[in-house]
Amino acid sequence: MFGLWFIAVARGGEPAPLSVADVVAAVRAHNPSVRGSAAAADAASGAWMTARGLFDPLYTADAFYRTTRERQFLPFLFDARQQSWTLSNGVSGVTAIGTRYQVATGLSHLASQTTSTEVGAPASTVADLFALRLDATVAQPLLRGARLASSLVAVRAAEAGWTAADLEAEAALQAGLAGALSAYWTWAGAEAEADIRAMASEVGASDVVLARAAVAAGTLAPAELARREARAAQLSAEALDARLGAEALEDGLQVAMGEDPADDRMPANAWSDPPAVTLDLVAVQEAVRASNPAVRAAEARRDQAAAVTAGARANRWVALDAVALAGVAAQDVTVGDAAAGLFDSDNLPYAQIGGQLRVPLGNRAARGELQRATGVEASRDAEIRAVSLEVEAAAALHARALASAAQRVAWADAQVSALAVALAAEEAALAAGGSHPQWVLDQRAAWIAARVEAVGARASFAAAEAALRGLRGEL
């Protein structure tokens, strides 16, 4: 009786119902692993945007003011004072094939005064001019960077990293949901077992009351009363253990949901009878391998490493860049005249063409980076194999558990029905004086055990089904 009182105190009030939909929503909203993986996917999305941002055009604007005083001696001794300012702006950037470009315009003003005290030299000379220029520059890597494998390595690696992070977030979500739903059904089975054992404990306590009355009336031996009291104490202990086990599983479920294990809850969903299961391990493993998000995430990480390897291989080459610049300039005493002069026939065109060759001596940095990238890519291939084997083994385990649980449910249901009939017959025989009380107790214990097995088999089926669906990414 003390055990039953402790159970009532531990449960403390009417528990709130908890459904499968509640579990799914809580895992999505609160599970730390799920939230952390989603945040990592957001970070990978930002890294991809950063990599693409390298190709965004850049606008620049400059302004300078300068004043100087010089003393020169040829052909006469004179002082020169100059004041100038320059305004310039332009747009520059780089394309996906490594072409660097810049379009710029500039306006400058020069005011100078030269004076001399020597005989025969001009006493003073004044200059006041505006200069305007407009030019474009193009630089193209010819040997390194002209291939997309080199220029887009950062973008492709970041995109593959983002894909992998999304798949890892999905894998974390599926694992979290599978773990929580498996815990839910295991807890539901434990709650049902606790209820069965609590009812058995109550029946045992009532049996003791009746036995004591029979002993007092002289119709039952004291030894039989002691046997029933021992049996009732055992049933109370089993009920207590079952209740504590269910509460422990409830706490574990709430942790898997990402919530504090504080509130008392009760399962709101009942499981249905499992269908017949035909075990085809090869088909199950192939389906899981094709759709499992963890395997797909490992493949995306391999693609990311392959993009880095392609860029490292291209960077071993000798670098040869071609540079071309062309523009036009004009000078006049006013800004308007200088601007108009840009398009006159007497403007001041200019052009420049050249190149640059860069040959790394030793090239250890590029060779070392290629070796590192190749090693990472090989490790990613091995990771794909390892994850695939792990997933296939888990799929086989849960598929076997699913088939086993379905068979156990059928056997347990048949056993419960048969033992219920046998128990009713023993109780009727005992009432007619044709049976022994111990036989009734033993028959009742077997019936309780069969009911517990039937509940446990259903819980195992539901838990294995959730785990298998999680491996397939279907939750």
Alpha-carbon distance 195 to 217, whole Å?
33
Alpha-carbon distance 312 to 373, whole Å?
7
Alpha-carbon distance 324 to 319, whole Å?
17
In the prediction, which pLDDT does 152 show? Answer: 78
Q: Is 433 left (phi over 0), alpha (psi -120 to 50) or beta?
A: left
Amino acid present at 445: A
In the prediction, which pLDDT does 9 show? Answer: 42
For residue 398 the two structure tokens come to 């849960």
CB burial of residue 211 (10 Å; 0-12, 13-18, 19+): buried
pTM for this prediction: 0.76
Alpha-carbon distance 70 to 83, whole Å?
12
Which CATH architecture describes the domain 2-30+156-306+373-471? Answer: Up-down Bundle (1.20)
Per-residue pLDDT reduced to its tens digit, 281-340 = 788 888 888 888 999 999 999 998 998 888 888 777 788 889 999 999 999 888 888 888
* CA max distance for the chain: 156
Amino acid present at 191: E
Alpha-carbon distance 148 to 252, whole Å?
51
In the prediction, which pLDDT does 333 show? Answer: 87
Three-state secondary-structure class, residue 139: strand
Alpha carbon 425 to its chain's center: 59
Residue among 67, 351, 18 at smallest CA distance from 187: 18
How many Cβ atoms from other residues are within 10 Å of residue 137's Cβ? Answer: 17
Sequence spans of domains, the chain: 2-30+156-306+373-471, 59-94+99-144+319-358
Residue 363 contacts residue 433 (beta carbons within 8 Å): no
> With a cut of 50, which residues of the chain have pLDDT below it?
1-11, 146
For residue 233 the two structure tokens come to 């104490």
Alpha-carbon distance 330 to 313, whole Å?
47
In the prediction, which pLDDT does 124 show? Answer: 67
CA distances from 466 to 133, 177, 250, 394, 470 (A): 72, 8, 17, 12, 6
In the prediction, which pLDDT does 3 show? Answer: 42
For residue 232 the two structure tokens come to 């009732």
Alpha helices in 99-152 (DSSP H): 148-151
Residue 407, CA atoms < 13 Å, CB-side half-sphere: 8
Residue among 325, 342, 345 at smallest CA distance from 130: 342
Amino acid present at 242: A
Count of residues making up the chain: 475
Alpha-carbon distance 244 to 250, whole Å?
10
